[in-house]
Protein backbone atom coordinates (compact mmCIF):
# COMPACT_ATOMS: atom_id res chain seq x y z
CA UNK A 1 0.00 0.00 0.00
CA UNK A 2 3.07 2.24 0.32
CA UNK A 3 2.63 3.33 -3.30
CA UNK A 4 -0.81 4.80 -2.52
CA UNK A 5 -1.30 8.38 -3.63
CA UNK A 6 -1.15 11.06 -0.97
CA UNK A 7 -3.71 13.76 -1.86
CA UNK A 8 -2.97 17.00 -0.05
CA UNK A 9 -5.47 19.85 0.15
CA UNK A 10 -3.03 22.63 1.03
CA UNK A 11 -4.99 25.48 2.56
CA UNK A 12 -2.61 27.25 4.90
CA UNK A 13 -0.10 29.79 3.66
CA UNK A 14 2.16 30.39 6.65
CA UNK A 15 5.80 29.39 6.36
CA UNK A 16 5.69 26.92 9.26
CA UNK A 17 2.79 24.93 7.80
CA UNK A 18 4.17 25.18 4.26
CA UNK A 19 7.46 23.84 5.58
CA UNK A 20 5.71 20.94 7.35
CA UNK A 21 3.70 20.23 4.20
CA UNK A 22 6.71 20.19 1.90
CA UNK A 23 8.64 17.95 4.32
CA UNK A 24 5.73 15.49 4.10
CA UNK A 25 5.62 15.79 0.30
CA UNK A 26 9.38 15.26 0.01
CA UNK A 27 9.17 12.26 2.36
CA UNK A 28 6.41 10.71 0.27
CA UNK A 29 8.31 11.38 -2.97
CA UNK A 30 11.41 9.74 -1.47
CA UNK A 31 9.29 6.66 -0.71
CA UNK A 32 8.09 6.61 -4.37
CA UNK A 33 4.58 7.50 -3.40
CA UNK A 34 2.67 9.77 -5.82
CA UNK A 35 1.56 13.09 -4.32
CA UNK A 36 -1.25 15.31 -5.63
CA UNK A 37 -1.39 18.78 -4.12
CA UNK A 38 -4.36 21.12 -4.49
CA UNK A 39 -3.58 24.70 -3.49
CA UNK A 40 -6.47 26.51 -1.83
CA UNK A 41 -7.06 29.84 -0.20
CA UNK A 42 -3.97 31.23 1.59
CA UNK A 43 -1.65 28.48 0.35
CA UNK A 44 -2.55 29.46 -3.21
CA UNK A 45 -1.78 33.08 -2.36
CA UNK A 46 1.64 32.00 -1.07
CA UNK A 47 2.46 30.51 -4.50
CA UNK A 48 2.15 33.83 -6.37
CA UNK A 49 5.16 34.15 -8.66
CA UNK A 50 6.23 37.44 -7.09
CA UNK A 51 5.74 36.30 -3.50
CA UNK A 52 6.67 32.65 -3.14
CA UNK A 53 10.09 33.45 -1.61
CA UNK A 54 8.85 36.35 0.52
CA UNK A 55 8.06 36.09 4.24
CA UNK A 56 4.63 34.45 4.74
CA UNK A 57 4.62 34.67 8.53
CA UNK A 58 3.96 31.80 10.91
CA UNK A 59 0.97 30.48 12.87
CA UNK A 60 0.29 32.64 15.94
CA UNK A 61 1.21 29.68 18.15
CA UNK A 62 4.81 29.73 16.85
CA UNK A 63 5.52 32.73 19.03
CA UNK A 64 8.79 34.64 19.06
CA UNK A 65 10.79 31.60 20.23
CA UNK A 66 9.42 29.37 17.45
CA UNK A 67 10.08 31.95 14.78
CA UNK A 68 13.61 32.45 16.08
CA UNK A 69 14.21 28.67 15.98
CA UNK A 70 13.01 28.51 12.37
CA UNK A 71 15.24 31.38 11.34
CA UNK A 72 18.27 30.06 13.23
CA UNK A 73 17.82 26.62 11.66
CA UNK A 74 17.68 28.03 8.16
CA UNK A 75 18.05 25.25 5.61
CA UNK A 76 16.50 25.09 2.16
CA UNK A 77 13.48 27.23 1.39
CA UNK A 78 10.32 25.12 1.17
CA UNK A 79 9.90 26.13 -2.49
CA UNK A 80 13.28 24.55 -3.24
CA UNK A 81 12.39 21.41 -1.28
CA UNK A 82 9.25 21.21 -3.40
CA UNK A 83 11.13 21.73 -6.67
CA UNK A 84 13.50 18.94 -5.67
CA UNK A 85 10.62 16.63 -4.72
CA UNK A 86 9.05 17.26 -8.14
CA UNK A 87 12.28 16.25 -9.86
CA UNK A 88 12.76 13.22 -7.67
CA UNK A 89 9.23 11.82 -7.56
CA UNK A 90 5.70 11.92 -8.92
CA UNK A 91 4.49 15.20 -7.42
CA UNK A 92 1.68 17.19 -9.04
CA UNK A 93 0.76 20.69 -7.85
CA UNK A 94 -2.49 22.23 -9.02
CA UNK A 95 -4.45 25.35 -8.14
CA UNK A 96 -8.03 25.02 -6.88
CA UNK A 97 -10.42 26.54 -9.43
CA UNK A 98 -12.67 28.01 -6.74
CA UNK A 99 -9.78 29.71 -4.94
CA UNK A 100 -8.37 31.02 -8.25
CA UNK A 101 -11.69 32.71 -8.89
CA UNK A 102 -11.93 34.06 -5.36
CA UNK A 103 -8.43 35.51 -5.42
CA UNK A 104 -8.82 36.62 -9.06
CA UNK A 105 -5.61 34.89 -10.16
CA UNK A 106 -4.61 33.64 -13.59
CA UNK A 107 -2.27 30.65 -13.95
CA UNK A 108 0.51 33.00 -15.12
CA UNK A 109 0.33 34.86 -11.80
CA UNK A 110 1.59 31.72 -10.06
CA UNK A 111 5.02 30.20 -9.65
CA UNK A 112 5.84 27.61 -12.37
CA UNK A 113 5.74 24.90 -9.65
CA UNK A 114 1.97 25.07 -10.18
CA UNK A 115 1.07 23.10 -13.28
CA UNK A 116 -2.60 23.72 -13.86
CA UNK A 117 -6.00 24.55 -12.41
CA UNK A 118 -8.28 21.82 -11.08
CA UNK A 119 -11.71 21.62 -9.49
CA UNK A 120 -12.20 20.05 -6.07
CA UNK A 121 -14.46 17.30 -7.46
CA UNK A 122 -11.68 16.18 -9.82
CA UNK A 123 -9.17 16.29 -6.95
CA UNK A 124 -11.45 14.10 -4.83
CA UNK A 125 -12.12 11.72 -7.73
CA UNK A 126 -8.37 11.10 -8.04
CA UNK A 127 -7.92 10.69 -4.29
CA UNK A 128 -7.87 6.90 -4.09
CA UNK A 129 -5.58 6.97 -1.05
CA UNK A 130 -5.28 9.31 1.88
CA UNK A 131 -6.62 12.88 1.80
CA UNK A 132 -4.63 15.27 4.00
CA UNK A 133 -5.78 18.80 4.82
CA UNK A 134 -3.00 21.16 5.84
CA UNK B 1 -11.66 3.11 -4.49
CA UNK B 2 -13.39 6.38 -5.44
CA UNK B 3 -16.47 5.32 -3.50
CA UNK B 4 -14.46 5.17 -0.23
CA UNK B 5 -15.95 7.12 2.64
CA UNK B 6 -14.35 10.45 3.50
CA UNK B 7 -14.45 10.89 7.29
CA UNK B 8 -13.97 14.51 8.27
CA UNK B 9 -13.20 15.60 11.82
CA UNK B 10 -14.25 19.23 11.50
CA UNK B 11 -12.61 21.18 14.31
CA UNK B 12 -12.17 24.70 13.03
CA UNK B 13 -15.01 27.21 13.08
CA UNK B 14 -13.70 30.10 10.98
CA UNK B 15 -15.52 30.91 7.75
CA UNK B 16 -12.47 30.34 5.53
CA UNK B 17 -11.85 26.80 6.83
CA UNK B 18 -15.57 26.01 6.90
CA UNK B 19 -15.78 27.13 3.29
CA UNK B 20 -12.79 24.95 2.32
CA UNK B 21 -14.32 22.01 4.21
CA UNK B 22 -17.73 22.32 2.56
CA UNK B 23 -16.14 22.65 -0.87
CA UNK B 24 -14.37 19.34 -0.20
CA UNK B 25 -17.60 17.74 1.08
CA UNK B 26 -19.56 18.97 -1.94
CA UNK B 27 -16.83 17.70 -4.28
CA UNK B 28 -16.92 14.28 -2.64
CA UNK B 29 -20.73 14.16 -2.77
CA UNK B 30 -20.62 15.07 -6.46
CA UNK B 31 -18.28 12.11 -7.02
CA UNK B 32 -20.77 9.83 -5.20
CA UNK B 33 -18.44 9.32 -2.30
CA UNK B 34 -20.04 9.01 1.15
CA UNK B 35 -18.96 11.70 3.64
CA UNK B 36 -19.15 11.45 7.44
CA UNK B 37 -18.57 14.71 9.29
CA UNK B 38 -17.94 14.92 13.03
CA UNK B 39 -18.25 18.45 14.39
CA UNK B 40 -15.84 19.23 17.20
CA UNK B 41 -14.87 22.23 19.27
CA UNK B 42 -15.17 25.54 17.37
CA UNK B 43 -16.77 23.98 14.29
CA UNK B 44 -19.55 22.67 16.53
CA UNK B 45 -19.97 26.14 17.98
CA UNK B 46 -20.34 27.53 14.43
CA UNK B 47 -23.31 25.18 13.82
CA UNK B 48 -25.45 26.68 16.60
CA UNK B 49 -28.92 27.26 15.18
CA UNK B 50 -28.82 30.96 16.01
CA UNK B 51 -25.31 31.53 14.70
CA UNK B 52 -24.66 29.39 11.65
CA UNK B 53 -25.18 32.27 9.22
CA UNK B 54 -23.43 34.89 11.36
CA UNK B 55 -19.85 36.02 10.80
CA UNK B 56 -17.40 33.43 12.18
CA UNK B 57 -14.24 35.33 11.30
CA UNK B 58 -11.28 33.96 9.38
CA UNK B 59 -7.87 32.49 10.25
CA UNK B 60 -5.42 35.23 11.27
CA UNK B 61 -3.36 34.45 8.16
CA UNK B 62 -6.22 35.55 5.88
CA UNK B 63 -5.37 39.16 6.65
CA UNK B 64 -7.35 42.13 5.39
CA UNK B 65 -6.68 41.29 1.73
CA UNK B 66 -7.89 37.70 2.10
CA UNK B 67 -11.03 38.72 3.94
CA UNK B 68 -11.76 41.35 1.28
CA UNK B 69 -11.31 38.73 -1.48
CA UNK B 70 -13.75 36.38 0.27
CA UNK B 71 -16.34 39.11 0.67
CA UNK B 72 -15.93 40.41 -2.89
CA UNK B 73 -16.28 36.89 -4.28
CA UNK B 74 -19.46 36.24 -2.35
CA UNK B 75 -21.20 33.15 -3.66
CA UNK B 76 -23.34 30.72 -1.70
CA UNK B 77 -22.99 30.56 2.07
CA UNK B 78 -21.17 27.39 3.15
CA UNK B 79 -24.28 26.28 5.07
CA UNK B 80 -26.23 26.31 1.78
CA UNK B 81 -23.45 24.42 -0.02
CA UNK B 82 -23.67 21.84 2.75
CA UNK B 83 -27.47 21.60 2.55
CA UNK B 84 -27.17 21.04 -1.20
CA UNK B 85 -24.46 18.40 -0.74
CA UNK B 86 -26.72 16.57 1.71
CA UNK B 87 -29.54 16.50 -0.83
CA UNK B 88 -27.26 15.46 -3.65
CA UNK B 89 -25.17 12.81 -1.95
CA UNK B 90 -24.60 10.61 1.08
CA UNK B 91 -23.45 13.22 3.61
CA UNK B 92 -23.88 12.66 7.36
CA UNK B 93 -23.17 15.43 9.87
CA UNK B 94 -22.91 14.53 13.55
CA UNK B 95 -21.91 16.39 16.70
CA UNK B 96 -19.02 15.05 18.79
CA UNK B 97 -20.35 13.91 22.19
CA UNK B 98 -17.28 15.22 24.02
CA UNK B 99 -17.53 18.68 22.46
CA UNK B 100 -21.31 18.79 23.12
CA UNK B 101 -20.59 18.23 26.79
CA UNK B 102 -17.78 20.77 26.88
CA UNK B 103 -19.86 23.47 25.19
CA UNK B 104 -22.98 22.45 27.15
CA UNK B 105 -25.09 22.12 23.99
CA UNK B 106 -28.23 20.05 23.40
CA UNK B 107 -29.01 18.72 19.92
CA UNK B 108 -31.88 21.25 19.64
CA UNK B 109 -29.38 24.10 20.03
CA UNK B 110 -27.85 23.12 16.69
CA UNK B 111 -28.84 23.76 13.10
CA UNK B 112 -30.98 20.93 11.62
CA UNK B 113 -28.05 20.10 9.29
CA UNK B 114 -26.69 18.23 12.32
CA UNK B 115 -28.45 14.88 12.59
CA UNK B 116 -27.29 13.37 15.85
CA UNK B 117 -24.57 13.09 18.47
CA UNK B 118 -21.74 10.58 18.13
CA UNK B 119 -18.67 9.56 20.10
CA UNK B 120 -15.22 9.73 18.57
CA UNK B 121 -14.70 5.96 18.91
CA UNK B 122 -17.81 5.32 16.81
CA UNK B 123 -16.64 7.90 14.25
CA UNK B 124 -13.25 6.16 14.00
CA UNK B 125 -14.87 2.72 13.80
CA UNK B 126 -16.81 3.86 10.73
CA UNK B 127 -13.77 5.50 9.15
CA UNK B 128 -12.82 2.74 6.72
CA UNK B 129 -11.40 5.28 4.24
CA UNK B 130 -9.55 8.52 4.70
CA UNK B 131 -9.74 10.57 7.91
CA UNK B 132 -9.35 14.30 7.34
CA UNK B 133 -8.86 16.81 10.16
CA UNK B 134 -9.86 20.37 9.28
CA UNK C 1 -10.47 -2.06 7.26
CA UNK C 2 -11.14 -0.86 10.83
CA UNK C 3 -7.76 -2.20 11.93
CA UNK C 4 -5.96 0.13 9.48
CA UNK C 5 -3.22 2.24 11.01
CA UNK C 6 -4.00 5.89 11.67
CA UNK C 7 -0.85 7.94 10.99
CA UNK C 8 -1.02 11.35 12.62
CA UNK C 9 1.38 14.17 11.78
CA UNK C 10 0.81 16.28 14.89
CA UNK C 11 1.98 19.81 14.13
CA UNK C 12 -0.09 22.07 16.33
CA UNK C 13 0.79 22.67 19.97
CA UNK C 14 -2.24 24.49 21.36
CA UNK C 15 -4.26 22.76 24.05
CA UNK C 16 -7.49 22.72 22.04
CA UNK C 17 -5.94 20.94 19.05
CA UNK C 18 -3.88 18.64 21.28
CA UNK C 19 -7.08 17.73 23.10
CA UNK C 20 -8.90 17.02 19.81
CA UNK C 21 -5.91 14.97 18.61
CA UNK C 22 -5.70 12.87 21.77
CA UNK C 23 -9.46 12.25 21.71
CA UNK C 24 -9.04 10.89 18.18
CA UNK C 25 -6.04 8.78 19.23
CA UNK C 26 -7.90 7.39 22.25
CA UNK C 27 -10.94 6.63 20.08
CA UNK C 28 -8.78 4.76 17.57
CA UNK C 29 -6.99 2.85 20.35
CA UNK C 30 -10.37 1.87 21.81
CA UNK C 31 -11.35 0.46 18.41
CA UNK C 32 -8.10 -1.57 18.35
CA UNK C 33 -6.67 0.48 15.54
CA UNK C 34 -2.89 1.10 15.60
CA UNK C 35 -1.91 4.76 15.80
CA UNK C 36 1.46 6.24 14.78
CA UNK C 37 2.03 9.82 15.86
CA UNK C 38 4.85 12.00 14.53
CA UNK C 39 5.38 15.16 16.59
CA UNK C 40 6.40 18.17 14.53
CA UNK C 41 7.05 21.84 15.11
CA UNK C 42 4.87 23.31 17.90
CA UNK C 43 3.38 19.97 18.95
CA UNK C 44 6.90 18.70 19.58
CA UNK C 45 7.59 21.81 21.67
CA UNK C 46 4.47 21.04 23.74
CA UNK C 47 5.91 17.61 24.64
CA UNK C 48 9.00 19.02 26.40
CA UNK C 49 9.35 17.20 29.72
CA UNK C 50 9.21 20.42 31.72
CA UNK C 51 6.26 21.89 29.81
CA UNK C 52 3.84 19.16 28.82
CA UNK C 53 1.41 19.98 31.65
CA UNK C 54 1.81 23.76 31.39
CA UNK C 55 -0.66 26.02 29.62
CA UNK C 56 -0.14 25.84 25.82
CA UNK C 57 -2.84 28.35 24.91
CA UNK C 58 -5.62 27.80 22.38
CA UNK C 59 -6.22 28.67 18.73
CA UNK C 60 -7.14 32.35 18.34
CA UNK C 61 -10.61 31.29 17.15
CA UNK C 62 -11.38 29.74 20.57
CA UNK C 63 -11.91 33.21 21.96
CA UNK C 64 -12.66 33.96 25.60
CA UNK C 65 -15.92 31.95 25.57
CA UNK C 66 -14.24 28.86 24.15
CA UNK C 67 -11.37 29.00 26.59
CA UNK C 68 -13.83 29.42 29.48
CA UNK C 69 -15.82 26.37 28.27
CA UNK C 70 -12.64 24.27 28.13
CA UNK C 71 -11.61 25.32 31.63
CA UNK C 72 -15.11 24.83 33.07
CA UNK C 73 -15.34 21.37 31.53
CA UNK C 74 -12.03 20.30 32.98
CA UNK C 75 -11.62 16.52 32.69
CA UNK C 76 -8.38 14.62 32.24
CA UNK C 77 -5.34 16.40 30.87
CA UNK C 78 -4.64 15.35 27.29
CA UNK C 79 -1.25 13.95 28.38
CA UNK C 80 -3.09 11.55 30.71
CA UNK C 81 -5.55 10.58 27.97
CA UNK C 82 -2.55 9.81 25.79
CA UNK C 83 -0.81 7.77 28.51
CA UNK C 84 -4.01 5.76 28.96
CA UNK C 85 -4.38 5.24 25.19
CA UNK C 86 -0.80 3.93 25.06
CA UNK C 87 -1.58 1.40 27.79
CA UNK C 88 -4.84 0.37 26.22
CA UNK C 89 -3.85 0.13 22.57
CA UNK C 90 -1.10 0.14 19.98
CA UNK C 91 -0.07 3.81 20.06
CA UNK C 92 3.43 4.92 19.04
CA UNK C 93 4.62 8.49 19.56
CA UNK C 94 7.79 9.63 17.84
CA UNK C 95 9.55 12.95 17.39
CA UNK C 96 10.21 14.26 13.88
CA UNK C 97 13.97 14.35 13.25
CA UNK C 98 13.76 17.60 11.29
CA UNK C 99 11.81 19.38 14.04
CA UNK C 100 14.17 18.02 16.72
CA UNK C 101 17.06 19.61 14.86
CA UNK C 102 15.22 22.88 14.33
CA UNK C 103 14.22 23.17 17.99
CA UNK C 104 17.61 21.85 19.13
CA UNK C 105 16.06 19.17 21.34
CA UNK C 106 17.52 15.87 22.53
CA UNK C 107 15.24 12.90 23.22
CA UNK C 108 15.85 13.32 26.96
CA UNK C 109 14.37 16.84 26.79
CA UNK C 110 11.00 15.27 25.94
CA UNK C 111 8.31 13.63 28.04
CA UNK C 112 8.72 9.82 28.26
CA UNK C 113 5.49 9.48 26.21
CA UNK C 114 7.80 10.10 23.22
CA UNK C 115 9.60 6.88 22.38
CA UNK C 116 12.12 7.78 19.72
CA UNK C 117 13.07 10.05 16.85
CA UNK C 118 11.94 9.30 13.30
CA UNK C 119 12.35 10.88 9.87
CA UNK C 120 9.32 11.91 7.83
CA UNK C 121 10.18 9.45 5.03
CA UNK C 122 10.05 6.55 7.48
CA UNK C 123 6.76 7.87 8.90
CA UNK C 124 5.27 8.02 5.39
CA UNK C 125 6.64 4.57 4.51
CA UNK C 126 4.73 3.10 7.47
CA UNK C 127 1.55 5.03 6.65
CA UNK C 128 -0.37 2.27 4.92
CA UNK C 129 -3.71 3.71 6.08
CA UNK C 130 -4.91 7.24 6.61
CA UNK C 131 -2.54 10.17 7.15
CA UNK C 132 -4.02 12.91 9.34
CA UNK C 133 -2.42 16.33 9.78
CA UNK C 134 -3.44 18.14 12.96
Tell me the per-residue pLDDT of B16-43, one tens digit each, with 9 for 90 and over.
999 999 999 999 999 999 999 999 999 9
DSSP code of residue B61: G
> Average pLDDT of C119-123?
96
The confidence score (pLDDT) of residue C2 equals: 46
Confidence of residue C75 (pLDDT cuts 50, 70, 90): confident
3-state DSSP assignment of residue A102? helix
Q: What integer best gives the mean pLDDT of chain C? A: 95
* β partners of residue B39: B10, B95
- B86-112: pLDDT as tens digits: 999 999 999 999 999 999 999 999 999
Residue B2 has pLDDT above 60, yes or no: no
Contact A131 B133 (CB under 8 A): no
The confidence score (pLDDT) of residue C74 equals: 85
* β partners of residue C7: C36, C131
B-contacting residues in A 13-52 (Cβ below 8 Å): 13-14, 40-42, 45
Spatial distance between the Cα atoms of B94 and B116, rounded to a whole number of angstroms? 5
Q: C-alpha dihedral over A23, A26, A30, A35, to 10 degrees?
A: 120
Residue A1 has pLDDT above 70, yes or no: no
Percent of chain C with pLDDT strictly greater than 90: 94
- C52-65: pLDDT as tens digits: 999 999 999 999 99
C40 neighbors C9 (Cβ within 8 angstroms): yes
The confidence score (pLDDT) of residue B98 equals: 96
b/e per residue C107-125 (b: at least 16 CB within 10 A): eebbbebbeebbbbbebbb
Size of the A and B interface in Cβ pairs below 8 Å:
69
C-contacting residues in A 71-100 (Cβ below 8 Å): 73
Q: What is the pTM of this model?
A: 0.96
Spatial distance between the Cα atoms of C1 and C84, rounded to a whole number of angstroms? 24
Spatial distance between the Cα atoms of B37 and A91, rounded to a whole number of angstroms? 28
Amino acid sequence: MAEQTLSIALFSGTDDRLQAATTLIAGAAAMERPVHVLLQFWALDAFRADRIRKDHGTSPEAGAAGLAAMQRHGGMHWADVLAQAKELGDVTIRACAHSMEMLEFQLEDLDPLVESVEGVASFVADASGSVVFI
